[in-house]
Structure 1
Amino acid sequence: MAKFLNTSATNYYLEELIKNASERLILISPFLKLNDRIKELLEDKDRLKIDVRIVYGKSELQPEEINWLKELQFVRTSFCKNLHAKCYINEQGCIISSLNLYEFSQVNNNEMGVYISRDDDSEVYRDTYDEAKRIIRISDEVRITLEKVAPEAPSKEQEKSESNTKLSSSKVAKKLGMKTQEFLNKLRELGYLEVMGEGYALTDKGRAIGGEFKTNKRFGDYFIWPESTELDK
């Protein structure tokens, strides 16, 4: 039978749900903002190679948090437009609650929720899990990048190694007679990039026109675009 959770119980059960995940973990919350305790728990899941999916509708991560998240190999993030659901699932049970992920361990708000055990309420758990998987399917998996303006254009050697027909954001911007930030803003307006924390992430529409996300230990993160890229001004 489902168990009712008040504010403190929701926090407790959510921590236990994350800690006890041994096969999979799905965290669905409109806001992607992580406190130290959540990060500690996710780091442990990553070390254990547990498949973790985080679905969110808005990111409020700070630059250092973005860099931290990028280092986790088994934690994948997906963006879902108009997301308002809050649901947290492992292979044993799930929590449906008013609690946003960023409010975890906070006691300022009055929250309510229910814990559903897979053993005791298998049908409800399955329906919840199926809906969570549907939300994942309609979401766009993204790799978060800190590229605000691509501070320095990649070296000529690096560009040659990428492609003879694709250039960095700053190079394409210069070719179009635009400033780099102006170019990135235009790409966002056209739906080729989306704002992600303190930077941008490539959308499916951006990939469709040939945009690519690149990362390099020496030069950092950046985007490349077809040399022939044209924008409607």
Structure 2
Amino acid sequence: MAKFLNTSATNYYLEELIKSAKERVILISPFLKLNDRVKELLEDKNRLKIDIRIIYGKSELQPEEINWLKEQEYIRTSFCKNLHAKCYINEDRAIITSLNLYEFSQINNNEMGILIGKDADNELYKDTFEEAQRLIRISDEIRISLEKIEHAQLEVPTNTESDTPNQTTAYSKITTSKLATKLGFKTAELLEKLEQKGFLIKKEDNYYLTDLAKNLGAEFKKGKFGYFFLWPEAIESKV
């Protein structure tokens, strides 16, 4: 029978879910951001070669977290647009909850959740697991990495050489400001949309390219007045 969880119980059973996993862990959370305790638990499962899948809609990883994640061979990350679900699963139990992954252990929050056991609620567990598998199938699996733009100037004035027609034609790509104009957005609005879609990650005042963007052909270049992004035409249909 499913069990109601308050804030402290949600934290407790989520930790137990990860610790007790023998085959797999699936973590579905809109925000990819890991605290030290979660990293410790996942690192132990990685050493045991447990299959770990993290499905997220937005990444807020710090550079040191990214370096840590890249070292974990058995942790796979997937980006799922429009993700708002929070669900955590191993081979014999699942938690559906309001608790975001990055809020784990923050017991001052007011959270709720439902603990589902495979043995006691087989159909409910099965439905939850199948929906998690569907989200995995529609997600883009990527290895998290960032390309840092040191003191980045995200836009280059139109009179700089990096924005001239010849150079733009040579790359068959356009700058963020031109892409924004083409799509009818303000530049700031477009940057937010690119972040929401998983092509950019923002840390403080700098933006970073994700693997999703780089695999599509996005680049960053240096012009007279700083660094800027170049976007392939294919990005237009994805914003």
Q: TM-score, normalised by structure 2?
A: 0.70
Q: 1:125 to 1:207 in 2, by over 3 A?
A: same
1:68-147 alignment, distance < 5 Å: 68-147=68-147
Per-residue CA deviations over 1:121-170 (Å, capped at 9, x if unaligned) read 1110000000000011111111222212499xxxxxxxxxxxxxxxxxxx
1:8-19 alignment, distance < 5 Å: 8-19=8-19
1:169-208 alignment, distance < 5 Å: 176=167, 185=176, 194-196=199-201, 198=203, 199-203=208-212, 207=215
Number of aligned residue pairs: 192
| Matching of residue 60 in structure 1 with residue 24 in structure 2 | no
Contact 1:145 1:196 in 2 (8 A): no
Residues in 1 aligned to 2:175 and 2:142: alpha-carbon distance in whole angstroms? 17
Q: Counterpart of 1:194 in structure 2: which amino acid?
A: F
Q: After TM superposition, where is structure 1 displaced by more than 6 Å over at least 4 residues in a row? A: 172-175, 186-193, 229-232
Contact 1:144 1:200 in 2 (8 A): no
Q: What SS does structure 1 have at the residue aligned with 2:9?
A: helix
Residues in 1 aligned to 2:86 and 2:12: alpha-carbon distance in whole angstroms? 16
Per-residue CA deviations over 1:77-108 (Å, capped at 9, x if unaligned) read 11111100000000010000011111100022
Contact 1:30 1:83 in 2 (8 A): yes
Unaligned runs of 5+ in 1: 152-171, 213-224
Equivalent residue, structure 2, for 1:28: 28
Residues in 1 aligned to 2:61 and 2:82: alpha-carbon distance in whole angstroms? 19
Contact 2:24 2:52 in 1 (8 A): yes
Contact 1:144 1:196 in 2 (8 A): no
Q: 1:7 to 1:193 in 2, by over 3 A?
A: closer
Residues in 2 aligned to 1:130 and 1:173: alpha-carbon distance in whole angstroms? 48
Residues in 2 aligned to 1:85 and 1:106: alpha-carbon distance in whole angstroms? 19
Unaligned runs of 5+ in 2: 152-161, 180-189, 220-229
Residues in 2 aligned to 1:50 and 1:231: alpha-carbon distance in whole angstroms? 36
Q: Counterpart of 2:120 in structure 1: which amino acid?
A: D
Residues in 2 aligned to 1:143 and 1:80: alpha-carbon distance in whole angstroms? 14
Contact 2:55 2:80 in 1 (8 A): yes
Contact 2:29 2:55 in 1 (8 A): yes
Cα offset, 1:177, TM superposition: 6.6
Q: Counterpart of 2:77 in structure 1: which amino acid?
A: T
Contact 2:96 2:113 in 1 (8 A): yes
Structure richer in helix, relative to its length: 2
Aligned-residue identity in percent? 63
Equivalent residue, structure 2, for 1:40: 40
